Chain A
Amino acid sequence: AQSVTQPDIHITVSEGASLELRCNYSYGATPYLFWYVQSPGQGLQLLLKYFSGDTLVQGIKGFEAEFKRSQSSFNLRKPSVHWSDAAEYFCAVGVSGGGADGLTFGKGTHLIIQP
């Protein structure tokens, strides 16, 4: 079965600084990869996704992520964070068929923005 690891439970970044959130997955083939963001009391909002093609994908709110097959990683980056980026970030893996058509999520990374 597939799995997702987000090694950082909390990350604190100063406003205006760059950000990288780590995500590693375990799956035998190329999975579908997603990053979602969740604000308190809200559902999950899709930031970006990777299905195939260019390994650097652009998302909303200035986020990007790079798929690295050799490292089984899909790290999320932003060059300059804003206070409104404070939220919980989830990496997810999707696979096809075999009775596993939902997403498998990491435990999330809580992003704190310092003024």
Chain B
Amino acid sequence: ETGVTQTPRHLVMGMTNKKSLKCEQHLGHNAMYWYKQSAKKPLELMFVYSLEERVENNSVPSRFSPECPNSSHLFLHLHTLQPEDSALYLCASSQDLPDTQYFGPGTRLTVL
């Protein structure tokens, strides 16, 4: 595997479910990011991690919980989501802050 990978690519969940999105980067980068892409809205930065420490949390609801166990992996834990949380969730990584970011293919999330 090369670049940035995300699993699953598609996820459908009910509002009471708990699920996790996974991101893995094979680029040796030090920083990782979660973005949300909704229809007709700009990409929104959610979280930034640098060297496994969270450096930014853009007022994201607590029903989204990130985890960065090491510099290659990033998770987004989801619980009690709302239908308006349905979106494409993109992970990205960069060598440092700030720097060029490389994106994964995204997870298409649908909340019923």
A-B complex is real: yes
For residue A67, give the distance in angstroms from its CB to the closest CB of chain B: 16
- Report the count of interface residues on B (CB-CB < 8 A): 28
**B45 contacts which of A36, A44, A102 (Cβ < 8 Å)?**
A102
Complex-state Cα separation, A32 to B40, whole angstroms: 24
Complex-state Cα separation, A66 to B66, whole angstroms: 37
**Closest B residue, CB atoms, query A95:** B98
Quick check: A100 and B56 within 8 Å, CB to CB?
yes
Residues of A within 8 A of B43 (CB): 90, 103, 105
**A43 contacts which of B4, B48, B58, B99 (Cβ < 8 Å)?**
B4
Complex-state Cα separation, A99 to B48, whole angstroms: 9
**B103 contacts which of A4, A43, A95, A101 (Cβ < 8 Å)?**
A43
Quick check: B98 and A101 within 8 Å, CB to CB?
yes
Complex-state Cα separation, A89 to B105, whole angstroms: 15
**Closest A residue, CB atoms, query B100:** A49
For residue B76, give the distance in angstroms from its CB to the closest CB of chain A: 15
* B interface residue numbers (CB < 8 A to A): 4, 6, 31, 33, 35, 40-43, 45, 48, 50, 55-56, 58, 90, 92, 97-106, 108
